[in-house]
Structure 1
Amino acid sequence: MTTRTRFTVGELVHHTRFDYRGVIIDVDPVYAGSDEWYENVARSRPPKDQPWYHVLVDGHTHSTYVAERHLEPDIRGEQIEHPTLGQFFDRFLNGRYVRQNDPGAH
């Protein structure tokens, strides 16, 4: 069985519980963190058998690990501010971040 992900790398998202914007830098089809982290941080106990996302947080220096159920598409469509953005993406095009080697980046 293949898990379908709602979001892809480079897509802007909004966290529905903590009201922040960000960009997805990696996708795990199922939870890939430690049991200890899940017990201490994932207080709402989101499902481990659904997608989780690594997200650079707009206006901050950290990234987060977020269950799909807490994310929605970002409707502002504006670029984010993050010091490591350039390590992951080359440019902002049509409302999403892309890498040079991305087939959709032309």
Structure 2
Amino acid sequence: MKCHNAKFSIGQVVRHRRYSFRGVVFDVDPVFDNTEEWWLSIPEEVRPRKDQPFYHLFAENDETEYVAYVSEQNLVPDTSDEPLRHPEIDEYFERDENGILRERDPILH
């Protein structure tokens, strides 16, 4: 499988292209790295390609917060500047003087 450069970076806020949720990237897999059952559970007509980056997100929608695993083809940058409420964000990230999310020192968490 060919490895692609990731379009989004750790700490970047993104939105799902099709579904109503958004989140912050906390890890990136250069290609699909989840179970075959997970991949096959996605309806074939919207199933993403495996040969692209996949992102681990602290995600949220109007009702709840959760961790999501999303293909690059299904994400777009979120430019809303709306705050995120996922409880794990503050554990892994801090905002710099420009409001950008930066990873906290890994030794501290």
| Partner residue in 2 for 1:19 | 20
> How far off is 1:77 after superposition?
2.2
Provide the C-alpha distance between the structure 2 equivalents of 1:93 and 1:37, rounded to a whole number of angstroms. 39
Provide the C-alpha distance between the structure 1 equivalents of 2:69 and 2:97, rounded to a whole number of angstroms. 24
C-alpha RMSD over aligned residues: 2.1
| Partner residue in 1 for 2:51 | 49
Is 1:68 the counterpart of 2:68? The answer is: no
Kept in 2: contact 1:21–1:58 (CA 8 A): yes
Matched residue type, 1:8: S
> How far off is 1:73 after superposition?
0.5
Kept in 2: contact 1:27–1:53 (CA 8 A): yes
Question: TM (normalized to structure 2)?
Answer: 0.80
> How far off is 1:70 after superposition?
0.5
**Runs ≥4 in structure 1, deviation > 2 angstroms?**
58-61, 90-96
Q: Which moved more, 1:2-11 or 1:54-63?
A: 54-63
Call closer, same or farther: CA 1:21–1:94 in 2, change over 3 Å: farther
2:18 partner SS: coil
Q: 5+ residue gaps in structure 1?
A: 102-106
| Partner residue in 2 for 1:30 | 31
| Partner residue in 2 for 1:104 | none
Kept in 2: contact 1:27–1:52 (CA 8 A): yes
Q: Percent identity?
A: 36
Q: How many residues align?
A: 102
> How far off is 1:2 after superposition?
4.7
Provide the C-alpha distance between the structure 1 equivalents of 2:36 and 2:16, rounded to a whole number of angstroms. 22
| Partner residue in 1 for 2:87 | 83
| Partner residue in 2 for 1:6 | 7
Call closer, same or farther: CA 1:76–1:92 in 2, change over 3 Å: farther
> How far off is 1:90 after superposition?
2.3
Call closer, same or farther: CA 1:93–1:54 in 2, change over 3 Å: farther
1:77 partner SS: coil
> How far off is 1:42 after superposition?
6.0
